[in-house]
Amino acid sequence: MKFETITIKDIAKALGLSTSTVSRALRGGYEISEETKKIVLDYAKKINYKPNPIALSLKERRSHSIGVVVCEIANSFFSQAINGIESIAYGAGYHVIITQSNESYEREIINVQHLASRSVDGLLISLSAGSSDISYLKELHAKGLPIVFFDRVSSEIQTHKVIANNIKGAHEATEYLINLGHKRIAHFTNAAHLSITKERLEGYKGALQKHGLPFEEKHVKYSEYGGMRKEEVDQLVKELLDLPERPDAIFIAQDRLSTGFLKSVKRADPDYARNITIAGFTNSNVVDLFSPSITAVRQPAFEIGQAATQLLIQLIESKYPVTEFETKVLDTELIVK
């Protein structure tokens, strides 16, 4: 059975009015008498008439929708950021279409192209671990699609960006481990080309240098798939465990990597897992249940989502070309366990 929507033509036929009169009355046109407006609006309410969003978007050349691309909706950081996005978008009259790349570059391109084909008014995106070439985004941006990056950003497109203070968060987490007396601190992190990877590595290195500890490349393990593949995490853990002198602490750069590392190291060496000290970026609400416990670097995910959406809506609704852009940096918080 085909779903039939009620149209302006149906209202006009029922009331014996022209479609243009009904359309003007629904829009509150000044040229329509108050009596006619009341008749039309009362009838529209009675039959639960809803404007056709597709027809409106064709007429206004706007869809009143925002596309969102994240690596994983189930990730605590991104789920909280999406809550922030929606809190601003719906209040401003925009629908939100959410997609996830699952750290796949190919999936990311498909999602973005699909959103563009649906004529979203703008795009919020956090790049996938596999995303090293953003020429497809450059093309869309050059054609006029407003884009705002958040969390995982790129310097190749001049636009607004919203990030956490990754350098500070990483520095504080690493320094916390150093102050506990640890000397061999490993770093478990994302794909090397990502902005968050570079910034968190910089914070990690800075803390080591501040306290006179050497930086050793062998202690840094990059997950090209962002912890999405168990076999990759297992191999990285094996490489750490096979070192002549094992790390006595580890700083982990991301939610999924934290849980993946814990599962893998417990399988490989339960005794070692019980004794290693861990600090890392995580917005998980159940971090207190982790064993061993994790000293958490929390990002203001909700606020990041809000700020990115506000900036995107400003781009969408600006009457003039925007030529000045900002990178908003929001502070992290170290929660000691």
Range in 166-175, 200-209, 317-326 with the lowest mean pLDDT: 317-326
Residues of the chain with CATH 3.40.50.2300: 61-162+301-329, 166-298
CB 69 within 8 A of CB 111: yes
Q: Rounded to an integer, what distance in angstroms lies between the CA atom of residue 122 and that of residue 64?
A: 9
Say if CB 214 and CB 280 are below 8 A apart.
no
- The residues, any chain, with a CB within 8 Å of residue 304's CB and separated by 6 or more, are 81, 84, 150, 151, 162, 163, 164, 330
> Is the entire prediction scored with pTM above 0.95?
no
CATH class of the region 166-298: alpha beta
Share of the chain above pLDDT 90, in %: 70
What is the DSSP code (8-state) at residue 219? Answer: G
**Nearest one of 147, 175, 171 to 159, comparing CA atoms:** 147
* Of 141, 157, 161, 140, the residue nearest 149 (C-alpha): 161
List C-alpha distances in Å: 283 to 75, 205, 249, 253, 255: 9, 23, 20, 11, 7
Burial 97-135 (b: 16+ CB within 10 A, else e): bbbbbbbbbebbbebbeebbeeebbbbbbbbbbbbeebe
d(CA 199, CA 194): 9
Is residue 29 pLDDT above 80, yes or no? Answer: no
pLDDT of 14: 84
Read off the pLDDT of residues 37-88 as tens digits, 9 standing for 90 and up: 888 888 888 887 766 554 544 444 567 999 999 999 988 999 999 999 999 9
118 CB-near residues (< 8 Å, 6+ apart) = 63, 65, 67, 97
Nearest CA-CA partner of 314 in 149, 169, 84, 122: 122
**Window from 129-143, 165-179, 275-289, 308-322 with minimum mean pLDDT:** 275-289
Our CA angle for 134, 138, 143, nearest 5°, is 150
Question: Is residue 19 over pLDDT 90?
Answer: no
Are the CB atoms for 173 and 297 separated by under 8 Å?
Answer: yes
- E strand residue ranges, 137-215: 147-150, 161-164, 185-189
Q: Is the dihedral of CA 45, 49, 50, 51 positive or negative?
A: negative
Q: How far apart are CA 111 and CA 140, in angstroms?
A: 13
334 alpha carbon, distance to own chain's centre = 21
Higher pLDDT residue, 297 or 8?
297
**pLDDT tens digits along 137-160:** 999 999 999 999 999 999 999 999
> In the predicted model, what is the mean pLDDT of residues 235-259?
94
Question: Residues with Cβ < 8 Å from 152, sequence gap 6 or more?
Answer: 71, 126, 127, 128, 131, 194, 195, 196
pLDDT, tens digit (0-9, with 9 covering 90-100), for 100-133: 999 999 999 999 999 998 889 999 999 999 998 9
Q: Which of 126, 185, 136 is nearest to 161 (CA)?
A: 126
Q: For the chain, what is the mean pLDDT?
A: 90
CB 100 within 8 A of CB 124: no
Q: What is the CATH topology of the domain spanning 61-162+301-329?
A: Rossmann fold (3.40.50)
